[in-house]
Amino acid sequence: MINQSSKIEAIILSLILLLFSGAGVARAQDATPTPTPTPAVQPPVDDKQNVKPENLNGVPAIAPNYRQDDKSLPDLGRVGVDMLEQRPLGLKEAITLALDNNKDIEVTRQNVKIAEFDLQSARGFYEPHFSGQSYYERATTPNVSIFSTNPTTTNGSLVGNAGLTGSLPRFGTSYSATASSQRVTTNNTISILSPQNNTSFNFSITQPLLRGRRFDQPRRVIEIAKKNLSLTDTQFRQRSIDIITNVQRAYWDLVFSLRNLQVQRDGVRDAKEQLEHNRRLVNEGQLAPIDIVAAETQVANIEQGVYEALENVGRAENALKNLIAQDRSDTLWRQSLVPTDSVDLEAPRTTLPEALDLALQNRPEIEINKTQKEINATDQRYYREQTKPQIDLTASYTTAGVGGSQNPDFRSIFTPTCNSTETPEQCQARIATLQQAQAQQLATLTGSSLTDVFANRYPTFRAGVTFNLPLFGDKTAKANLGKSLVQGQQLETQREQIEQNIQVDVRNALQAVRTSEARLRSAAIARENSQKQYESEQRKLDAGQSDVYKVLERQTALINARSGELRAQTELNKAIADLQRATGNSLKANNVEARLRK
């Protein structure tokens, strides 16, 4: 009875629909057809009178039908690295290799050695210098004297002299000692001796009384060289700290990239297992065949992630090798580095005041500024000394001697004669006395010149004062002194700025450590919960309460969470390294002693 009523209702409903449709057709035939609109000449514009994106003219069609049909994967490997030749590497060993082989460190070592040589050069000013010369000379000159009948005079000289000069490192005293000897031969008839030997010894000393007595340029150069040596040594330690921090960060970046590569490989394995699981569900009729396509796409995407992770491993490894390799031919380049240190570093427990005190004690920037101030104090001392008048005490002593043989060509121009007032006996006596005196003088002259020197027979002593006073004041020295004083104030201001920058650096480093700890906790929770959600979504899919897209979404989230957990740990390790650098404690914290290579 019910079925018959239903059939009757269906028939009536069909008649009603047919009636309405016929009326509609009649009205449609009676209506005037509307013509098709002609496209406007002007391109359609939006409210802002701009050309719509789909009507943008001038865009060339580049590879419109492009499609890649090659689905094969390229070789899975790292360029220039034998992945089977693995090199275990600890962080301490990496730091040691960097300090031994890094080019920046080597340049800094060389700067320290240069500063050492500069100091040796400055001290060399006070080393005594022994100098001298020796030569033979023969000269012929025309005779212009009425006392000689020779048309020319020929003199031969053999000269030799030597001297010792130097300065004392205190009081600005300078000294010199010179010995000279000369042997002269001549045909001049008025010369008593030929050959004639002349010997002399001279000693002189100069002592500043005002300017240069307490401090002078040589002592200034030595003091600055000492400070520069200390400065370059501090700069070497600063560069060592920077290298250690860079090695630490590069090391942990390599740790993360290798771990992330493993996570991506695990993700490919899980994706392929999910793909096989989906195929079984399709065979059982629980999933549509199209759901396999989504799983296959997931596998392809995660396989792409493996290649990207492998590229990141190569970049991270090259960055670390660049810091620790000796040169481009080092065997380290073809080896696969395997970090061996545990990633579970414990963050230092320190307060802000403790960290700030440690930084102000250890940061090289503070020591560099201190050394620069000491150099400036040396300049101030020197320029203040230069404003004094220059008054020097000088003294010299010379002893000389003469000797040789009687000139065989000697002719005396003085002939003894008798005076009209004296008797012949008196005249002969006087001439005899004169000849005796000349004989005694000749005997003295023909002796040894060295005997005269050691007997101090012909001494000369001189003492005096030299001065150099500017008439209107030494404006240059005063200007240099004023400049050095302003530079001292500038260095003090810079120190205040350095201390403030260090405070900001320490604050940021401490905050970064705490933030990294919180991020690590959050990443661990996210990884654990992502694992639970992925497993739960798989169970729902098997029970028909979920779809494959949610499962794949949970799978991707789990892969990201696994990478994010180690990323958070390595970021914490790098934050710890940055805190060590901020407090200037990198060397001590890593048990490293930075020293020059001998």
Position 290 scores a pLDDT of 84
- 30 exposure class (CB count in 10 Å sphere: 0-12, 13-18, 19+): exposed
pLDDT, one tens digit for every residue, the chain (598 residues): 434 444 444 444 444 444 334 444 343 344 344 444 444 444 444 444 556 676 767 777 777 777 666 666 666 777 888 888 899 999 999 999 998 888 888 888 888 889 999 999 999 999 999 999 999 999 888 877 766 777 888 888 899 999 999 999 888 999 999 999 888 888 877 777 778 888 999 999 999 999 989 999 999 999 999 999 888 888 888 999 999 999 999 999 999 999 888 888 888 888 888 888 888 888 888 888 888 888 888 888 888 888 898 999 999 999 999 999 988 899 999 999 999 998 888 888 889 999 999 999 999 999 999 999 999 999 999 999 999 999 999 999 999 888 777 767 666 666 666 777 777 777 777 777 766 666 666 666 666 777 778 888 889 999 999 998 888 778 898 999 999 999 999 999 999 999 999 999 999 999 999 999 999 899 899 989 988 998 898 888 888 787 878 888 888 888 888 888 888 999 999 999 999 999 998 988 888 876 655 4
User: In this structure, are strands 82-89 and 458-468 parallel, antiparallel, or unpaired?
Assistant: unpaired
Position 169 scores a pLDDT of 86
C-alpha to C-alpha distance for 226 and 371, rounded to whole angstroms: 10
Apex 496 CA angle, 494 and 498, nearest 5: 70
Position 92 scores a pLDDT of 92
Tokens linked to 49: 């009178």
CB 140 within 8 Å of CB 152: yes
For residue 76, how many other CB atoms are within 10 A of its CB? 11
CB 167 within 8 Å of CB 173: yes
Tokens linked to 496: 């205040």
**R_g of the chain computed on alpha carbons:** 52
CA distances 47 to 40, 42, 51, 57, Å, are 17, 15, 10, 19
Tokens linked to 336: 């696969």
Pick from 252, 238, 245, 250: nearest CA to 105:
238
Tokens linked to 124: 């060399």
Position 34 scores a pLDDT of 42
Which 8-state DSSP code applies to residue 55? G
Tallying the residues shown for the chain, one arrives at: 598
- 274 exposure class (CB count in 10 Å sphere: 0-12, 13-18, 19+): buried
Apex 152 CA angle, 150 and 157, nearest 5: 115
Q: Cα-Cα-Cα-Cα dihedral of 574, 578, 580, 583, to 10°?
A: -160
User: In this structure, are strands 152-167 and 174-186 parallel, antiparallel, or unpaired?
Assistant: antiparallel
Residues in CB range of 36: below 8 A, 6 or more apart: none
DSSP string, 374-387: HHHHHHHHHHHHHT
Pick from 167, 174, 197, 178: nearest CA to 133:
178
Question: Where is 156: in which H helix or E strand?
Answer: strand 152-167
Position 71 scores a pLDDT of 61
Question: Where is 85: in which H helix or E strand?
Answer: strand 82-89
545 phi and psi angles, rounded to 5 deg: -100, 5
Q: Is the pTM of this model over 0.85?
A: no
Strand partners, 165: 129, 176
Which 8-state DSSP code applies to residue 27? H
- 320 exposure class (CB count in 10 Å sphere: 0-12, 13-18, 19+): buried
